[in-house]
A and B are shown apart, each in its own frame.
Chain A
Amino acid sequence: MPFEWILALRFLREGRMQTALIMAGTTVGVAVIIFITALMNGLQASLATRTLSTQAHVSVRAPDDAPTPVLERAGATSVVAHIEPRVQRLRSIDQWQRVTRELVALPHVVDVSPITTGSGFAFRGNASKSIALMGVIPERYDRIVKVSDKLTAGQFRVGPGEAVIGIELARDLGAAVGDRIRILSSENRDDVFRLTGLFDLGVKDLNRRWVIMPLRSAQSLLDLSGGVTHIDLTVDDIFAAEDVATRIVSQTGLTAESWMAINTQLLTAFKNQNMTTRTVRVFMLLIVALGIASVLVVSVVQKQREIGILRAMGASPRRIMRVFLIQGGIVGGSGALLGSGLATLMVYGASFALLQDDGSALISGRIEASYYLTAAAVAVLTGLLAAVAPARRAAKMDPVEAIRYG
């Protein structure tokens, strides 16, 4: 083992109390950093999953109609114009079968479901309610919004002439599974559906408005034969949704909105949380660094005489400096190791202690390997940086002073 390492290790070993304290401090610091990161990520993932249980990660639709300018601007003539925005009508996505195949091939995309949606009314007896027609391919749509998991009665089966509605709408219409309701679309076409199931998506508005029916039925009711208005899709990494949406826009020319663009307030909350987490992390690191630095400074002062004699015996200032830098690195590194262990226990404990309403764990008991590696690298670096000032001080120590006042 090199001279500098022998000295650094022995100094740490023999400085028992100091070493134990600073290691404990570093350990707790690293553990808190890892734990808070795991906790925040767990929280966000849980929140996002809940929000996204009734939404697609990315929703693709035909681009909006834009007004066509009727006045040519010629030469130096200025034109004062008020351009009325176009009224948006239901439009189907051009060649949606081809687009669907294209979307499936994109990276990150997991499931794709074409949908035809529009507005209308539901009638039963003399009750009428405003509703949203959701024409879907059931087995595909079930992979985007897990309707079959959210049924309170019946089953998720929408064959021709069958529909599934929310519990609120069922109550408003006084309908139950097996009953028939009449749907009138905004295009003034109507049809009768037999209810095969009732769902509770956890959002009252959706429970009151959605009528899920076969794609073909919605197409004919909305006068869009063979067309779809939306293509919903899910991605493997929910935070990649925005990138996927951007890519879809540039590749297909269609409009694509990610859940992030739709739920901006949620995203803002996430960003604020992330900033809070970062702030906590930075201050934890600062405290760890100050702790290491202060212990090493004390150690340098205590070892003044020994540094002097080492210099007299031929150790260069540079090597003395290295001895103290290594100590900082060792404290940081072992703190990272012990802290990772502690964080693992904390996260494991929290996976039992912190439960959501439905009894599932708020955070998973596992920590990604990257957290450990990052924490270890940052802790070693922090240790080294914290040791710079004490190490320089040790290197500058005048051997004559050190020896004279033995």
Chain B
Amino acid sequence: MADILRLEAVRKSYNVGMPIETEVLHGIDLALRAGEFAALIGPSGSGKSTLLHLIGLLERPTAGRILIAGREIDALDEAGMTELRGRTLGFVFQFHHLLPEFTALENVMMPALIDQGRATRAMRERARGLLAKVGLADALDKKPSALSGGMQQRVAIARALAMNPPLVLADEPTGNLDSHTADDIFALLREFNRAEGSAFLIVTHDARLAAGCDRRIELMDGQLLAATV
């Protein structure tokens, strides 16, 4: 199967050109196939979040190539990155980052709304369907503040899948949930992986969750452990 994600010799430094320049990632080579379900693990400070931000097109690498869905991101300007991000990537964060002003349904519609500029009936139906799949068919019109932590994370997952993205990035998606709820959320991610065919890259501290993934990629001091790639 084709690679949805490819990183070649990717480096990332902060404070480039200053005395306190620090390199966080020291040459990462990584490929993810379409539909793969992978965990990215490693201790705090190993560079997991930085790597995820690079893959998420929120930051640019200092050196190396990144290809997402076959597109070289070096060739893209800011607008191109924004568009690619909106259409090919879905995000699930540790903190759900739902928009508190909008209902669950509106939050799930948001990525499509950003993409198309105005709300359509199809968008609304897709969002309704996704919320039904995460078990929130009864909470469509509730604001995030009226939902529990687990329910908020379910809404966030539904939102990440709204554009049917080929790659979903999750940063500690179960980080602030109790273990029972965490298992539910993880099961949901797996379910979407199977049903929608999206590839998942999940950053986690939780060894139990990592064990449930098809592949474990381990990051240590800014380098991938060879055995896991």
Whether the pair A314, B49 counts as a contact (CB closer than 8 A) is no
B215: interface (CB < 8 Å): no
Say whether, besides A10-B102, A400-B59, A315 and B82 are in contact (CB < 8 Å). yes
B interface footprint on A363-406 (CB within 8 Å = 1, 0 otherwise): 00000000000000000000000000000000000011001101
Say whether, besides A306-B99, A314-B85, A406 and B94 are in contact (CB < 8 Å). yes
Residues of B within 8 A of A (CB): 49, 53, 56, 58-59, 78-79, 82-83, 85-87, 91, 93-95, 97, 99-102, 110-111, 113-115, 117-119, 159
A316: interface (CB < 8 Å): yes
Return the contact of A1 from the options B102, B114, B115, B118 (Cβ within 8 A). B118
Whether the pair A399, B58 counts as a contact (CB closer than 8 A) is yes
Contacts of B78 in A (CB 8 A): 316-317
A66: interface (CB < 8 Å): no
Whether the pair A3, B118 counts as a contact (CB closer than 8 A) is yes
Contacts of A319 in B (CB 8 A): 114
A357: interface (CB < 8 Å): no
A309: interface (CB < 8 Å): yes
Whether the pair A406, B95 counts as a contact (CB closer than 8 A) is yes
Whether the pair B100, A14 counts as a contact (CB closer than 8 A) is yes
Whether the pair B99, A309 counts as a contact (CB closer than 8 A) is yes
22 contacts between A and B (CB under 8 A): A1-B118, A2-B117, A3-B114, A3-B118, A6-B119, A10-B101, A10-B102, A11-B101, A306-B100, A308-B97, A310-B114, A312-B56, A312-B58, A312-B91, A313-B86, A313-B114, A314-B87, A315-B82, A316-B79, A317-B78, A406-B95, A406-B97
Contacts of B101 in A (CB 8 A): 10-11, 13-14
Return the contact of B82 from the options A3, A305, A306, A314 (Cβ within 8 A). A314
A311: interface (CB < 8 Å): yes
Q: Which residue of A lies closest to B110 (CB)?
A: A313
Contacts of B56 in A (CB 8 A): 312
* Bound-complex Cα distance A341 to B49 (A): 54
Q: Which residue of B lies closest to A10 (CB)?
A: B101
Chain B nearest CB: distance from A201 CB in Å?
68
* Bound-complex Cα distance A313 to B106 (A): 14
Contacts of A2 in B (CB 8 A): 117-118
Whether the pair A313, B91 counts as a contact (CB closer than 8 A) is yes
Interface size on A, residues (CB 8 A): 26
Whether the pair B102, A311 counts as a contact (CB closer than 8 A) is no
Whether the pair A403, B93 counts as a contact (CB closer than 8 A) is yes
Contacts of B93 in A (CB 8 A): 309, 403, 406
Return the contact of A306 from the options B87, B97, B119 (Cβ within 8 A). B97
Q: Which residue of A lies closest to B57 (CB)?
A: A312
Chain B nearest CB: distance from A396 CB in Å?
12
Chain B nearest CB: distance from A87 CB in Å?
84
Return the contact of A3 from the options B83, B95, B113 (Cβ within 8 A). B113
Say whether, besides A312-B91, A313-B86, A6 and B113 are in contact (CB < 8 Å). yes
A:284-327 near B, CB below 8 Å: 305-306, 308-317, 319
Contacts of B119 in A (CB 8 A): 1, 6
Chain B nearest CB: distance from A36 CB in Å?
37
Say whether, besides A313-B86, A314-B87, A305 and B97 are in contact (CB < 8 Å). yes
Whether the pair B85, A400 counts as a contact (CB closer than 8 A) is no
Whether the pair A309, B97 counts as a contact (CB closer than 8 A) is yes
Q: Which residue of A lies closest to B53 (CB)?
A: A400
* Bound-complex Cα distance A313 to B110 (A): 8
Contacts of B117 in A (CB 8 A): 2-3
* Bound-complex Cα distance A93 to B164 (A): 92
Chain A nearest CB: distance from B95 CB in Å?
3
Chain A nearest CB: distance from B145 CB in Å?
11
Q: Which residue of A lies closest to B95 (CB)?
A: A406
Whether the pair B111, A400 counts as a contact (CB closer than 8 A) is no
Contacts of B110 in A (CB 8 A): 310, 313
Contacts of A10 in B (CB 8 A): 101-102
Contacts of A314 in B (CB 8 A): 82-83, 85-87, 111, 114-115
Instruction: List 10 extra interface pairs beyond A309-B93, A312-B91, CB under 8 A.
Output: A3-B117, A3-B118, A305-B95, A309-B91, A311-B82, A312-B58, A312-B85, A315-B86, A315-B114, A400-B58
Chain A nearest CB: distance from B155 CB in Å?
12
Contacts of A310 in B (CB 8 A): 99, 110, 114
Q: Which residue of B lies closest to A4 (CB)?
A: B117
Q: Which residue of A lies closest to B83 (CB)?
A: A314
Contacts of A317 in B (CB 8 A): 78
Q: Which residue of A lies closest to B96 (CB)?
A: A406
* Bound-complex Cα distance A402 to B49 (A): 13
* Bound-complex Cα distance A201 to B100 (A): 72
Chain B nearest CB: distance from A403 CB in Å?
6
Chain B nearest CB: distance from A176 CB in Å?
84
Chain A nearest CB: distance from B105 CB in Å?
13
Return the contact of B111 from the options A1, A6, A13, A313 (Cβ within 8 A). A313
Contacts of B58 in A (CB 8 A): 311-312, 399-400, 403
4 closest Cβ pairs, A-B complex: A314-B86, A406-B95, A14-B101, A309-B97
A:309-368 near B, CB below 8 Å: 309-317, 319
* Bound-complex Cα distance A14 to B99 (A): 11
Chain A nearest CB: distance from B144 CB in Å?
11
Kindly name the residue among A13, A308, A315 whose own CB sees the greatest number of chain B CB atoms within 10 A.
Answer: A315
Q: Which residue of A lies closest to B102 (CB)?
A: A10
Contacts of B82 in A (CB 8 A): 311, 314-316
* Bound-complex Cα distance A42 to B2 (A): 79
Chain A nearest CB: distance from B22 CB in Å?
16
Contacts of A3 in B (CB 8 A): 113-114, 117-118
